[in-house]
Amino acid sequence: MTELPPAIHLESVSRHYLMGESVIRAVNDVSLTVPSGGFLALLGSSGSGKSTLLNLIAGLDRPSSGSVVAHGQDLSKMSSLELARYRRQTVGMVFQSFNLLPRMTLEENVELPLRLAEVDRSERATRVREALSRVGLEKRIGHRPSELSGGEQQRTAIARALVNRPKILLADEPTGNLDSATGESILTLLREIQKNPGMTIVMVTHERALAERFADCLAVMGDGKLLSNGAAR
């Protein structure tokens, strides 16, 4: 049986910022591989560079040096238009603060990536319902985010991240604003989603216990460097 190519491969990736005259090394020479279908938890204390690394994988930021390759595409060589297409087609993102647009209903929030991808209107409704039923919120389709609990909002955010059928799901502290029980249910949901063939998940978290329970691999960062990388269990 042939081994699948890695979903994500980072080679000596650095991201430096200039702050006045000093250089902030947010990510410093990180090399990392995430296999296709894997669930990687990026652990580290605040300011360790894990969110910056996630943004680099998401194509929201560009490395100062090194290369980020996702499903064979070298992000560091892409134009901003190509990166936008990559974010639309290859990755889905979930944030700590959900980032749902408050004036839109769940349906409209989840539909947003489909609008950006110029999916036909006739197909959109079906895909939105599919995505919302996958996270158990099909009955709340007409509600606004403010009418939902934190867990439900995060589920909606997950539905929005999945509606364009991405290959990689990136979650930045998805349980950070939730109580432990709700956080656990969200991670259970992510784990179920990962069962889809080929779905790779990279999750940034500082909750090691949860990460060990749900992720396949753990990568620990500190001061912008990768301190350790290995199987979770």
Partner 1 sequence: MKLRDLSDLAFRNLREAVLRNSLTTLGVAVGVASLVAMLSLGVGLQQLATSRLAKSGLFDSIFVTPKTNLRGPGGGPPATRAPASKARPLDAAARAEISRMPNVIEVYPQIRFFTEVRYDSKPFATMVAGMPESSKASGAFDGMQGSFFSSPNADEAILQAEFAKELNPQTASLIGKDLILRYAERQALPSQAQAGDPAEYPGGFSVVPKEKHLRIIGVVETEPASGFGGFGSGRLLIPLPLAETLRAAQVNDLRDILRDTSSDKPTYSSLTVRVKSPSLVEATEAKLKDLGFSAFSLLDASKSLRIFFLVFDLLLTIFSSLALAVATLGIINTLVMAVLERRREIGVLKALGAADSDVKQLFFVEAGVIGLFGGILGVFLGWLIGRTLNFGTVLYLHRQNLPGVDITSVPLWLVAFGILFAVLVSLAAGLYPASRAARLDPVQALRYE
Residue 155 found at the interface with partner 1 (CB under 8 A): no
Cα distances (Å, whole numbers) of residue 135 to 2, 138, 200, 215, 219: 33, 8, 18, 19, 27
- Please pick, from the candidates 36, 67, 73, 99, the single residue that binds partner 1 as defined by CB under 8 A: 99
Interacting residues with partner 1 between 157 and 186 (CB under 8 A): 160, 164
The two tokens of residue 183 are 């956080």
String of DSSP letters for 154-175: HHHHHHHHHTT--SEEEEESTT
Q: Which CB, 102 or 230, lies closer to partner 1?
A: 102
Stretch in the footprint of partner 1 (CB under 8 A) among 6-14, 86-94, 192-200, 213-221: 86-94
Using left for φ > 0, alpha for ψ between -120 and 50, and beta otherwise, residue 198 falls in: left
The two tokens of residue 79 are 């134009």
What string marks each residue from 2 to 31 as x (binds partner 1 by CB under 8 A) or -? ------------------------------
Residue 125 found at the interface with partner 1 (CB under 8 A): no
String of DSSP letters for 203-214: EEES-HHHHHHH
- Please pick, from the candidates 3, 21, 46, 118, the single residue that binds partner 1 as defined by CB under 8 A: 118
Q: Which residue has the tokens 């020479």?
A: 29
Residues that bind partner 1 (CB under 8 A): 55, 58, 60-61, 80-81, 84-85, 87-89, 93, 95, 99, 101, 103-104, 112-113, 115-118, 160, 164
